Amino acid sequence: MSRWTSRTLSPLPEPWPDSGNWFAEWMTLDDETWYARMSPTGDPALPPIVMVHGLVVSGAYFRPVAAELDHRYRIAVPDLPGYGRSESKRIWTVPSITTRLAIWLDAHAFSDVVLVANSLGCQIATLLAVERPDLVRGLVLVAPTLDPSIRHAAQLMWRGAIDIPREKQTLWNIWIPDFFRAGLRRSLAMLHQTMRDGPEQLRRLPDVHQPALVVGGGDDPIAPPEWVAAMAGSMPNARSIILPGCAHAMNYSDPRSLARAIDTVIEGNLPA
């Protein structure tokens, strides 16, 4: 049985919004070390936000949107094991890393959270919403994978290459170190898992009953607007919105627009 063996809190070792309001958390689970950025001082009457990152990259690229939401919400931004500052020797599947995230949430006594996920993180979020509905109160799915018109990993990689010049180029300062931390083997394996889980996600979307907002970027080649609308239409309590001019990582490149969308879904669509 998995169990946490240690928990350490420290100042953030990286630039982050209002460093006096945030701290770094290190937790050990079996042979893994989880790193997370935590801000516990938001409004306790509002649901906490947990941000779930995408392929290769860590939670560090949520910093701009976290800055927009800071002080209003309690926010947790973990690096999934094997990514960013979190450590793991295992190569994960989408189901296994989702199970691990549920264990991490249980360890913090989180329930009824709003998951704000980007890209592959959306696949993890929809699976968690189905498997552990007690943990998930609502979802904001940002530039979700996997567009079913993408049939091969090479297509996904090509669309990613098209997206690169559309993002803020300072994102490279996060992407490159995160890629080397994850390593080529893990990155390619998780790319394969992204493709493998795509059809599974289509089958589970009708079972995602939580309020959900699917956010697409008008300039996102990876999650185009037609897929964003179709994904929202496959869930019983979801709607979609397209942010003009936004690319795939809008949590970094257009955080203000995304923060407004998050506020809207929390304030207007989540039951008290």
Residue 225 is classified by DSSP as H
The tally of domains found in the chain comes to 1
Burial class (CB within 10 angstroms; exposed 0-12, middle 13-18, buried 19+) of 151: exposed
Listed residue (109, 135, 44, 38) closest to 78, CA to CA:
38
- Looking up residue 190, the CATH number of its domain turns out to be 3.40.50.1820
Q: What is the pLDDT of residue 272?
A: 42
Rounded to an integer, the average pLDDT of 67-77 is 92
Starting at the edge strand found earlier in the chain, the sheet holding 113-118 runs 4-10, 23-29, 32-39, 75-79, 49-52, 113-118, 136-142, 212-217, 238-243
pLDDT at 1 exceeding the cut of 60: no
The fraction of the chain above a pLDDT of 70, given in percent, is 96
pLDDT at 86 exceeding the cut of 50: yes
Mean pLDDT of the chain: 92
Give me 173's structure tokens.
């300062």
Could you tell me the pTM of the whole model?
A: 0.94
- Name residue 215's beta-bridge partners: 142, 241
pLDDT at 201 exceeding the cut of 50: yes
- Name residue 245's beta-bridge partners: none
* Other CB atoms within 10 Å distance of the CB of residue 42: 18
Quick check: 144 and 228 in contact, CB under 8 A? yes
| Lowest mean pLDDT segment, chosen from 21-35, 49-63, 241-255 | 21-35
Q: What is the pLDDT of residue 271?
A: 46
Q: What is the pLDDT of residue 3?
A: 67
Q: What is the pLDDT of residue 57?
A: 95
Structural domain of 179: 4-269
Q: How confident is the model at residue 267 (pLDDT cuts 50, 70, 90)?
A: confident
Model pLDDT for residues 167-180, shown as the tens digit of each residue: 999 999 999 999 99
| Lowest mean pLDDT segment, chosen from 7-16, 130-139, 217-226 | 7-16
Q: What is the pLDDT of residue 16?
A: 83
Distance, CA of 65 to CA of 164 (rounded, Å): 19
Rounded to an integer, the average pLDDT of 122-137 is 97
Top-confidence residue, 225 or 41 = 225
pLDDT at 202 exceeding the cut of 90: yes
Distance, CA of 99 to CA of 187 (rounded, Å): 19
Listed residue (199, 222, 204) closest to 143, CA to CA:
222
